[in-house]
Structure 1
Amino acid sequence: MKIAFLVRDLCHMGGVVSATQNLAGALAERHDVEIVALRKVRDESYFPLDPRVSVRVLTDMRPHSPVSDVDNPLSDKFPLVYPLNAGAKTPVVSRLAELRLLEYFDSTDADVLVSSSPRNTIMLTQARGDYLKVTQEHSMPAIYATDIKQRLFPAYRHLHALTALTPEEVAAIARQVPAVRNRLAVMPNCVPSSTIRSSGTNKVVVSAGHLTDNKNHALLVEAFAKVHADAPDWTLRIYGHGTEKKKLRTRIEELGLSNSILLMGQTSPVTPEFGKGSIFVLPSKREAFGNVIVEAMAAGLPVVATDADHGPRNILTDGEDGLIVPRGDVDAMAEAIRSLVQDDELRLKMGAAGIRNAERFHERASCERFEAILEEAFARKELPVHATARVDREGSVHVAVGALPPSAEEADLVLRKGGAGSEEHRFPFSAEGDAVVPWDAGVPHGTWEVALATREGGREVALTTDGYGCDTRDLLAVRLPRAQGPALALMLPYLHQDGGLRLRSALREAHAEVGPVRVDERTIAVRAELWGARPAAGAVVEAVHRRNKERVLSFPLRDEGDGWVAVDLDCAALVREHTDDDEKEVVWDFWLRAAPGAPRVQLAKLATDVLAPIDVFTFARPVLTETVAPGPTVLTRAVRKSRRALGGKPAPQAPTRRRTELRPYFTAACQFAVKTVRL
């Protein structure tokens, strides 16, 4: 098959570039592989590239190149779709590169497109081709900037497969975007085997990486200083450059170790330098993977690494090919290094184990692992993803996806709660691709994501729909309250903003469905149908302060017969309870108690085909004006004090008028609430 890797460029030194080129080379043994770079700014990559891998450059930004795009008027224009780099004064990826990328999407003959960065992943969702769309996460999406996550997480739903470097990160992404939990796979970075071998006898400790705060070489300097006190004939070599270099240099000089701790600068490739060392140390605070760990192992070096999330623990076997120490613990790191410095046999034994254990990250193993991921993704791609949903007059929901392929002869409709919860409900699909969620299935109250999952193999795809895909006409004819079971049991299928099919289940043993609401400057009059409960003497409606649940106002409830109840909310009482200690806005949520001590019943708008009542049911906003005595200020206190000192009477302070607006509305959870706002 033809596999294309989509990268920004190959012109910087980083683990993502190295890992992408390594995997591309490994796959080139059996496949047609190309790397598509949005731009090129230098003649050569920092890392070797297998000659069997072709490179396609979309914009050449080298001034001396005979095909340079520097003079193209679009080369200095910001893109319209490609996510911008925050604070950039000139585009990193230009409008020209963006247009050529979109053109590539439409014209490529690749079977698989693989993105290696979040921005390219967002762009990949713009692709209309029938190829497999895959993304590789080389970092931790949870730490991405908010603007990137807001576009990236919805984009995940349009991909056929996603990979992350460790099981922990796969689990983290599944929690953040539950809809893609069954298309995630662990794919460690590919790190080539090495011909470099350490003898293990040189008295040199090696470390490599950008000199940044996260890489935390400052910790290593402090730890090695302790080791050096016991082993003064050993030296530490740190390879790399970055913003922390000056600070590290200053500290090394303060410790008097300028001859023993050497900042070697940037070296490319750095792997040959590992052959000169006998121990490798990675002191990072956070490490999604850590290519250098595998490179050091392949060179026969035992590794000392901090237990940084989540790479080292997924590469090293503590006590076998290296030692893992707690993050930020100088003494633990010093002790680990010292144990290897002082025990030649242990050092050599761990180094030999590292060579063996590194094989699982080399070319052959990486190629087979990635091929298996693609094979699974192709099988998942055969599953139907577009669905229609219809509510019948009983309130059951019928979902149709069309005839199922042979690979999905037995499949289920899966309802799964969004967020971190793993609760799910399954309903069988027929061979024709129809499934029914009965109105009395007891689907718990809340919003549910909808997916199709095969019983054999457990392949799953999130179902999508469109503006014509949800037929809720008969929902308006469903008779409520229910004669049996929960008084309110109603399901509303709808199109989510990310294109996915969702199901809102409203399930309540007792429920107060808000009806007409009339508002004037004195009263907010609310009528509601009470289902599953009957009002008794002492029935009230309670207003509960959103921030302080101990603050509760009670209003008497009237029984109007035929299941209808009513309450008059005193506007003045709500305004009085908005005290000077409150913030500018106070929200009161409303509940009904059918009898003293009875459970609260939510006043809400749920028996409707309206998904967001806040946008549809709007009410007048009365403004109440009060006359209040002004509170003393520093200035008024000073004036009064000076008048008394002069024997005069303090001047009386004029009362002030305070205005408060009342805003009745339905919350995002469809509950009736009133917000009081000081104007």
Structure 2
Amino acid sequence: MKIAFLVRDLCHMGGVVSATQNLAGALAQKHEVEIVALRKVRDESYFPLDPRVSVRVLSDMRPHSPVSDVDDPLSDKFPLVYPPNAGAKTPVVSRLAELRLLEYLATTDADVVVSSSPRNTIMLAQAPGDYLKVTQEHSMPSIYATDIKQRLFPAYLALDALTALTPEEVASIGRQVPAVRDRLAVMPNCVPAAPVRSKGTNKVVISAGHLTDNKNHALLVEAFAKVLAEAPEWTLRIYGAGAEKNKLRARINELGLANSILLMGQVAPVTPEFGKGSIFVLPSKREAFGNVLVEAMAAGLPVVSTDADHGPRNILTHGEDGLIVPRGDVDEMAKAILSLVRDDGLRAKMSESAVRNAERFHETASRERFEAILERAFARKALPRHATARVDARGNVHVGVGPLPAQAHGADLVLRRKAKEIEEHRFAFSPAGDAVVPWDAGVPHGTWDTVLATASGAEVPLSTDGYGCDTRDLLAVELPRTGDHSLALLLPHRHDDGRLRVRSALREAHAEVGPVQVDKEAIRVQADLWGATAGGGAVVEAVHRKDKERVLTFPLKRTGDGRVSAVIDCRTLVDQHTDEEDKEVVWDFWLRPADGAPRVALAKLATDVLAPIDVFTFPRPVITDTDAPPPSAAPSPSVVRRAVRKARRTLGAAPSAPATARRKTELRPYFTMLSQFAVKTVRL
């Protein structure tokens, strides 16, 4: 197959560039591979690239290049879609590169396009091509800037596979974007075997990385000072460049250790230098993976590393090929280094284990791991994902996806939702791609996502279009039901994101709101009571949304055939909106069938209308107080507390005039998002 890796450029030193080039080379053993770089600013990459991998450059920003794009008027314009770098005065990726990227994504003949950065992923997700779209997360999306996450996380939904470096990061992404859990996989970076192996005899400790606060070489300097107090013949070499260099140099000089702790500068490639050492140390505060750890292990160096999230603990085996110490602990790091400095036999034993354990990140293992991810993604992509849904006269929901491919025979329709725990219900698809959700399947009350899941574990969410849900016969379903649930009704619908969902309305007892009449005096509500009988002490109760202790009761009248009615006095609701409260007060309405009986929600659920709040609307009467507001009913303790806080905030303000102004209160009857009847009183 043809695999294309999408990168910003190959012109900087970093783990992402190294890992991408290494994996591309590993895959080139069996596949056609190209790297597509949005720009080029230097002649050569810092890392070796397999000659079988081709490189396509979309914008050449080298002034001396015979195909330079420097003079193109779009080369210094910011992109319109590609997310720019925050605070940049000139574009890192230009409008020119963006346009060429869009053209590439629309015309490429690649079977797979792999993004290695969040900005490229955002672009890839919008591409029209039918190729496999894959992203590799080399960092931690949870720490990305908010503006990137707001575009990146929705983009994940359009991808066929996502990889992260560690199981912990896979779990983290799954928590942040639950809809992509089924297409996440662990893919550690590819790190080739070392060209040079350490003999383990030089009294040299090696560290390498950008000299930044996160890499925390300052900790290593302090720890090695303690090592030198007991083993002065050893030397520490730190390879890299960065903003912390001067600060590190000053501290080394302050400690008088300029002859023993050497800042070696930036070396490319750095791995041959590892053969000169006998121990490697990684002092990072945070490390998504740590290519340098594997490179050191492959060179035969036992490793001392902080327990930085989450890479080191997924690479090292503590006590076998290295030692893991707590982050930020100078003493523990010094102790770990000393244990290897003092014990030649331990170093040799760990060196052998390090070389052996590094093999699982080398080319062959990485290629096979990535091929397996692509194989699962292709199988998933072949699954049908467009569905239709129909409700029959009994209320059963029939879902069709068309004939299933052979690998999908035995698949299930899964209804799934996530509350505290993931809950799901399964219904078998026939080979023809039909599944039935019986009305009496007992699917709990709520809204459920639909998923096609194969026996092998591959899954795809089901989508539908504006013609995909036939609910004509739902209006003919006879209610109430007989049995345990008087209300059992399934409503398939198309969500705003295009996904097929099913709302289950399931109630043992239910009060279905019927006609509602509203005027300035009263709100008259009729309802059908199912699964319960109105008896002595039956009332309608209005419960204050914020203060559940405040309850208003209104008489309930039986009108025959299970129908009941209640008259809600508007003035009562207005008077109960006390001056100490907010501008708006909401009362949720319940029916209590008898004295001491459980409440039953007054709601609009026996309908094909998904959101009654938008459809069933009522007049909004305004009640005007012509004189000073009448005394409120005795407020609850919570209202008193709010009044005290309000008085404290206004302490020292000028006394207010006597309350003689005309006060207006609007009453707004409506159905909530949960379809329950409520009334909001609003001070105008």
Instruction: Give the TM-score normalised by structure 1.
Output: 0.89
Q: Are positions 1:655 and 2:659 aligned together?
A: yes
CA contact (8 A) 2:534 2:558 kept: no
> For the structure 1 residues 605 and 147, does the alpha-carbon distance in structure 2 shift closer, same or farther, using more than 3 Å as the test?
farther
CA contact (8 A) 1:176 1:420 kept: no
CA contact (8 A) 1:491 1:504 kept: yes
Give the superposition deviation at 1:347: 2.0
> For the structure 1 residues 552 and 25, does the alpha-carbon distance in structure 2 shift closer, same or farther, using more than 3 Å as the test?
same
**2:483 partner letter:** Q
When structure 1 is superposed on structure 2, of 274-283 and 428-437 the one drifting more is 274-283
Deviations 1:449-499 (A, max 9, x none): 2121222x2222222222222222222222222223312212222222333
> For the structure 1 residues 638 and 452, does the alpha-carbon distance in structure 2 shift closer, same or farther, using more than 3 Å as the test?
closer
Identity of aligned residues (%): 76
CA contact (8 A) 1:303 1:323 kept: yes
Which whole-Å CA distance do the structure 2 matches of 1:14 and 1:266 have between them?
12
Give the superposition deviation at 1:126: 2.3
Which whole-Å CA distance do the structure 2 matches of 1:592 and 1:510 have between them?
10
1:194 aligned partner: 194
Which whole-Å CA distance do the structure 1 matches of 2:617 and 2:245 have between them?
60
CA contact (8 A) 2:539 2:594 kept: yes
**2:672 partner letter:** T
1:211 aligned partner: 211
Q: Are positions 1:555 and 2:564 aligned together?
A: no
Give the superposition deviation at 1:204: 3.0
CA contact (8 A) 1:175 1:419 kept: no
**2:2 partner letter:** K
CA contact (8 A) 1:557 1:567 kept: yes
Which whole-Å CA distance do the structure 1 matches of 2:409 and 2:164 have between them?
30
Which whole-Å CA distance do the structure 2 matches of 1:127 and 1:356 have between them?
42
> For the structure 1 residues 491 and 353, does the alpha-carbon distance in structure 2 shift closer, same or farther, using more than 3 Å as the test?
same
**2:556 partner letter:** R
Q: Are positions 1:119 and 2:119 aligned together?
A: yes
CA contact (8 A) 2:313 2:324 kept: yes
> For the structure 1 residues 633 and 100, does the alpha-carbon distance in structure 2 shift closer, same or farther, using more than 3 Å as the test?
same
1:667 aligned partner: 672
Give the superposition deviation at 1:2: 0.9
Which whole-Å CA distance do the structure 1 matches of 2:124 and 2:371 have between them?
20
2:636 aligned partner: none
What SS does the aligned partner of 2:422 have? coil
Deviations 1:556-601 (A, max 9, x none): 2413433334445555555565567655555444443333443333
When structure 1 is superposed on structure 2, of 318-327 and 372-381 the one drifting more is 372-381
Which whole-Å CA distance do the structure 2 matches of 1:520 and 1:266 have between them?
80
Q: Are positions 1:609 and 2:611 aligned together?
A: no
The answer for unaligned runs of 5 or more in structure 1 is: 640-650
Deviations 1:113-160 (A, max 9, x none): 112222222222222333222222222333333443343333333322
- The alignment covers a number of residue pairs equal to 666
1:481 aligned partner: 480
2:438 aligned partner: 438
1:229 aligned partner: 229
Which whole-Å CA distance do the structure 2 matches of 1:81 and 1:575 have between them?
52
Give the superposition deviation at 1:163: 1.7
1:70 aligned partner: 70
Which whole-Å CA distance do the structure 1 matches of 2:39 and 2:515 have between them?
61
Which whole-Å CA distance do the structure 2 matches of 1:224 and 1:400 have between them?
67
Give the superposition deviation at 1:267: 3.0
What SS does the aligned partner of 1:292 have? helix
> For the structure 1 residues 44 and 633, does the alpha-carbon distance in structure 2 shift closer, same or farther, using more than 3 Å as the test?
same
> For the structure 1 residues 370 and 420, does the alpha-carbon distance in structure 2 shift closer, same or farther, using more than 3 Å as the test?
farther
Which whole-Å CA distance do the structure 1 matches of 2:579 and 2:265 have between them?
61
**2:392 partner letter:** D
1:463 aligned partner: 462
What SS does the aligned partner of 1:423 have? strand
2:316 aligned partner: 316
Deviations 1:517-537 (A, max 9, x none): 445556554443332223333
Give the superposition deviation at 1:312: 1.4
CA contact (8 A) 1:178 1:420 kept: no
**2:466 partner letter:** G
**2:314 partner letter:** N
When structure 1 is superposed on structure 2, of 603-612 and 569-578 the one drifting more is 569-578
Which whole-Å CA distance do the structure 2 matches of 1:620 and 1:357 have between them?
73
**1:351 partner letter:** S
**1:509 partner letter:** E
1:593 aligned partner: 592
2:638 aligned partner: none
Which whole-Å CA distance do the structure 1 matches of 2:245 and 2:555 have between them?
72
**2:659 partner letter:** P
> For the structure 1 residues 407 and 634, does the alpha-carbon distance in structure 2 shift closer, same or farther, using more than 3 Å as the test?
closer
Which whole-Å CA distance do the structure 2 matches of 1:140 and 1:354 have between them?
26
CA contact (8 A) 1:539 1:556 kept: no
What value does the CA root-mean-square deviation take over the aligned residues?
A: 3.1
Q: Are positions 1:345 and 2:345 aligned together?
A: yes
What SS does the aligned partner of 2:336 have? helix
What SS does the aligned partner of 1:340 have? helix
> For the structure 1 residues 27 and 509, does the alpha-carbon distance in structure 2 shift closer, same or farther, using more than 3 Å as the test?
same
Which whole-Å CA distance do the structure 1 matches of 2:672 and 2:218 have between them?
50
Deviations 1:598-623 (A, max 9, x none): 33333333222222333333445555
1:134 aligned partner: 134
Give the superposition deviation at 1:357: 0.3
1:510 aligned partner: 509
> For the structure 1 residues 522 and 35, does the alpha-carbon distance in structure 2 shift closer, same or farther, using more than 3 Å as the test?
farther
Q: Are positions 1:532 and 2:566 aligned together?
A: no
> For the structure 1 residues 50 and 480, does the alpha-carbon distance in structure 2 shift closer, same or farther, using more than 3 Å as the test?
same
1:103 aligned partner: 103
Give the superposition deviation at 1:661: 5.2
Which whole-Å CA distance do the structure 1 matches of 2:273 and 2:567 have between them?
81
Which whole-Å CA distance do the structure 1 matches of 2:521 and 2:258 have between them?
80
> For the structure 1 residues 64 and 654, does the alpha-carbon distance in structure 2 shift closer, same or farther, using more than 3 Å as the test?
farther
Give the superposition deviation at 1:634: 9.7
2:331 aligned partner: 331
Q: How does 1:152-551 map to 2 (within 5 A)?
A: 152-249=152-249, 251-252=251-252, 255-418=255-418, 421-455=421-455, 457-520=456-519, 523-549=522-548, 551=549
Which whole-Å CA distance do the structure 2 matches of 1:172 and 1:634 have between them?
43
When structure 1 is superposed on structure 2, of 520-529 and 459-468 the one drifting more is 520-529
> For the structure 1 residues 484 and 297, does the alpha-carbon distance in structure 2 shift closer, same or farther, using more than 3 Å as the test?
same
CA contact (8 A) 1:160 1:377 kept: yes
CA contact (8 A) 1:180 1:462 kept: no
Which whole-Å CA distance do the structure 2 matches of 1:172 and 1:439 have between them?
36
What SS does the aligned partner of 2:427 have? strand
Deviations 1:45-72 (A, max 9, x none): 2222111111111222333333233333
Instruction: Give the TM-score normalised by structure 2.
Output: 0.88
> For the structure 1 residues 6 and 622, does the alpha-carbon distance in structure 2 shift closer, same or farther, using more than 3 Å as the test?
farther
Give the superposition deviation at 1:547: 4.7
> For the structure 1 residues 481 and 183, does the alpha-carbon distance in structure 2 shift closer, same or farther, using more than 3 Å as the test?
same
CA contact (8 A) 1:134 1:162 kept: yes
CA contact (8 A) 1:538 1:556 kept: no
> For the structure 1 residues 663 and 313, does the alpha-carbon distance in structure 2 shift closer, same or farther, using more than 3 Å as the test?
farther
CA contact (8 A) 1:300 1:354 kept: yes
The answer for unaligned runs of 5 or more in structure 2 is: 632-642
Give the superposition deviation at 1:411: 1.6
> For the structure 1 residues 446 and 638, does the alpha-carbon distance in structure 2 shift closer, same or farther, using more than 3 Å as the test?
closer
